[in-house]
């Protein structure tokens, strides 16, 4: 996808860059199913899996990656559903770290599809 190709070139920084770059980033993120939160500078996506075991396996993959890159999601899990919000507290909103983690999360979820 365009989002996947673009995200390979994204580097982890503390801001989303210029307004034009931010618009491009958000458009690609939304095309991948992430929603921009209306009440804060964050992105959100809901995932659904076959059962709790798959959901927990997915969360484990994400947790290991998040810990490795020192960027942790806000999430909520009930049985086979996982809801994730990404925002960078250090800069008070979205950053390249969020976009990079969103890409990893999408790739991890695809492995369970």
- 10-residue mean pLDDT series, the chain (113 residues): 41 55 76 88 95 97 95 95 92 87 95 88
Angle at 83 (CA atoms; ends 112, 96), nearest 5 degrees: 90
Strand partners, 74: 85
Say what the pTM is. Answer: 0.80
Local structure of 45: helix, strand or coil: strand
Given this model, what pLDDT does residue 41 score? 86
| Nearest CA among 74, 84, 78, 76 for reference residue 108 | 84
For residue 16, the model assigns a pLDDT of 53
- Taking the CA atoms of residue 110, residue 11, residue 88 and residue 31 in that order, the dihedral angle to the nearest 10 degrees is -40
């Amino acid at each position: 996808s365009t989002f996947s190709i673009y995200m390979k070139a994204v580097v982890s920084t503390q801001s989303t860059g210029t307004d034009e770059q931010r618009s491009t980033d958000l458009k690609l993120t939304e095309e991948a199913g992430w929603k921009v939160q209306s009440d804060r500078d964050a992105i959100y996506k809901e995932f659904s899996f076959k059962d709790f075991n798959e959901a927990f396996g997915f969360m484990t993959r994400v947790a290991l990656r998040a810990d490795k890159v020192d960027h942790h999601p806000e999430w909520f899990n009930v049985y086979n559903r996982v809801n994730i919000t990404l925002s960078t507290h250090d800069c008070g909103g979205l950053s390249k770290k969020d976009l990079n983690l969103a890409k990893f999360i999408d790739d991890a979820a695809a492995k369970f599809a």
